[in-house]
Structure 1
Amino acid sequence: MKKRGFEIVTDYINKEIHLPQRATHHSAGYDFEAAAEVVIPSIWKQLLTRKINDNAATEKKIKPVLVPTGVKSYMMEDEFLQLANRSSNPLKRFLLVANGIGVIDSDYYNNTANEGHIMFQFTNFGLKDVVIKKGERIGQGIFLPFLKADQDQTDHDRTGGLGSSDQAK
């Protein structure tokens, strides 16, 4: 029985994708690479090109950018994969993982909406756009166990991909 690991998403099988690996023997995180070149626009540049008085339109345009990895992950039922930023991204490139950390649940694997494709959400707080090149290391994933409350009850199964668990309410 497989416990935890990574696989390439079907749409990326012939696109020279590398499975995440740890950089050193004592590294906790598995380094993820970008599966495609992606531009992360500066939020300041976006603000300056928008009408400042049009808040609703500005908010729709200024949002995180998803960077595909071409990878999915399987794990045990009581585990999750935590997605974290590389320590050098904010310091050198002004990139933040927009949701702080990402949480990949075990039932995200092979979901019907996107096969469990893992993507990182980035916001660029720098003054210039940042280009992430294909194959560049963008973040890391750490497998972690989690605990459940004594009163834990769930009546819903995952019905989709990214952001789908909020639809189960």
Structure 2
Amino acid sequence: MNKFELISEKEYEKTVAEEFKAKNGVLSYQNYDELKVPRRATQGSAGYDFISPISFKLKAGQTIKVPTCIKCSLSRGNVLMLFPRSSYGFKYRMQLDNTVGVVDQDYYNNESNEGHIFIKITNDSKSDKVLTVNKGDAFAQGIIMPFVITDDDDVTALRTGGIGSTSKS
């Protein structure tokens, strides 16, 4: 089943301590009961809008890692792809630092962070525009897509950690 969920209150408290209060550009943040799971804006929308749980400002060239407080359960054979909202890309050249976020089906409920999705972005403005995102603003979008594997695929390894863990074998 494909489904967005909030991280647990325990994981949220860890995020508040480690990310929101880390003096990394976060101006303010939402309380747990204010968080919202991603939703499509219209019936024809492919992307589910990710709502920022934090307020921040990025000058041209600055970067921030946004803890979304969201995790995503994906059906076998599906992947969640993350992209900037089109308006931020057009106006500010907002870029995801990994160009496209790829959230694998087995990232959900991993041992290290419950599958908490982080989105690291940069304001790549060439005209010194300041990117302002307020808590509650949609800033990124996720699209759930099927993927295909090769006929001779024989992978048996299982994920044991969070971001970057599959390259640590």
TM-score of the two chains, using structure 1 as the length reference: 0.79
User: Does residue 24 of structure 1 match 2:24?
Assistant: no
Secondary structure at the residue paired with 2:43?
coil
Secondary structure at the residue paired with 2:34?
coil
Say whether the 8 Å CA contact 1:40–1:122 is kept in structure 2. no
For residues 164 and 37 of structure 1, the distance between their equivalents in structure 2, rounded to whole angstroms, comes to 29
Structure 1 residue 144, shift from structure 2 partner: 0.6
Structure 1 residue 77, shift from structure 2 partner: 1.6
Say whether the 8 Å CA contact 1:33–1:138 is kept in structure 2. yes
**Which of 6, 9, 13 does residue 7 from structure 2 map onto?**
9
Aligned residues: 147
Match of 1:152 in 2: 153
For residues 95 and 87 of structure 1, the distance between their equivalents in structure 2, rounded to whole angstroms, comes to 9
For residues 73 and 40 of structure 2, the distance between their equivalents in structure 1, rounded to whole angstroms, comes to 17
Amino acid at match of 1:158: R
Match of 1:121 in 2: 120
Say whether the 8 Å CA contact 1:80–1:103 is kept in structure 2. yes
Structure 1 window deviating more from structure 2 (92-101 vs 72-81): it is: 92-101
**C-alpha distance after superposition, 1:102-136 (max 9, x if no partner):** 11001100111111111212111122543322111
Structure 1 residue 35, shift from structure 2 partner: 1.4
Structure 1 residue 4, shift from structure 2 partner: 0.7
For residues 133 and 167 of structure 1, the distance between their equivalents in structure 2, rounded to whole angstroms, comes to 36
Amino acid at match of 1:99: N
Equivalent residue runs for 1:104-119 within 5 Å:
104-119=103-118
Say whether the 8 Å CA contact 2:92–2:129 is kept in structure 1. no
Amino acid at match of 1:5: K
Unaligned runs of at least 5 residues, structure 2: 13-30
For residues 23 and 67 of structure 1, the distance between their equivalents in structure 2, rounded to whole angstroms, comes to 21
TM-score of the two chains, using structure 2 as the length reference: 0.79
Match of 1:61 in 2: none
Amino acid at match of 1:163: G
Amino acid at match of 1:123: T
Structure 1 residue 22, shift from structure 2 partner: 0.5
For residues 37 and 60 of structure 2, the distance between their equivalents in structure 1, rounded to whole angstroms, comes to 29
Amino acid at match of 2:167: D
Unaligned runs of at least 5 residues, structure 1: 47-63
**C-alpha distance after superposition, 1:25-69 (max 9, x if no partner):** 1111110011122343432xx7xxxxxxxxxxxxxxxxx421121
Amino acid at match of 2:40: R
Sequence identity of aligned pairs in percent? 39
For residues 132 and 98 of structure 1, the distance between their equivalents in structure 2, rounded to whole angstroms, comes to 17
**Root-mean-square deviation (CA), in Å?**
1.8
